[in-house]
Amino acid sequence: MALKQCKECGNQVSDKAQSCPSCGAKQPKKMGIFAWIAIIFVGLLVIGAIADGGDGSSVSEPSPKELALQNLDFDFEWGKAGFDSVMEINMTIKNNGTKDIKDLTVECVHSSNSGTVVDRNKREVYEVIKAGETKKINNFNMGFIHSQATSSSCSVVDLVVM
């Protein structure tokens, strides 16, 4: 037990006493470790909210690339060539966005009769497609394809916004 001075009357008071025995003034309590941890935690939450913009919203605007991908119409037909070992696609790409795009990455996922994914191809299409333009590309070589592939799903997975 330690003694401290009363802030009201100046007499010695035990640090465990709730009030001064001389004047009856309430004594300030020492904050425990848990109180300090709680204060630090709340402070960090406040600092995090301020650093995040402080408005509490977590909705962000789509990037120009995400916007361009959303505004893209992609249609394709595919077939096998080169002794049925190479995939070729005829694709129609329409840029419904407001910015020109180029260097599209097309990815195709191939499945067998059972529905099992048996192969994938990914290729770059080095073309510029202006805003509002539709471009047709025929007999585009997507590379080797698994011999048991009977269906394919293709999409544009990346591009460059100009």
Residues 9 and 74 occupy one common structural domain = no
Question: What was the pLDDT predicted at 56?
Answer: 53
User: Tell me: the pLDDT tens digits for 43-73?
Assistant: 998 888 787 765 555 678 899 999 999 999 9
- Separation CA 138–CA 8 (nearest Å): 93
Contacts of 118 (CB under 8 A, 6+ apart): 110, 111, 112, 146, 148, 149
Helices (H), 15-73: 33-51, 64-70
81 and 123 belong to one structural domain: yes
Query: Do residues 93 and 130 share a domain?
Result: yes
Of 11, 26, 50, the position where a domain reaches its end is: 50
Residues 70 and 135 in one domain: yes
pLDDT tier, 1 (very low <50, low <70, confident <90, very high otherwise)? low
Q: What is the pTM of this model?
A: 0.62
> Which tokens hold the place of 104?
């599209």
Helices (H) and strands (E) in the chain, counts: 2, 8
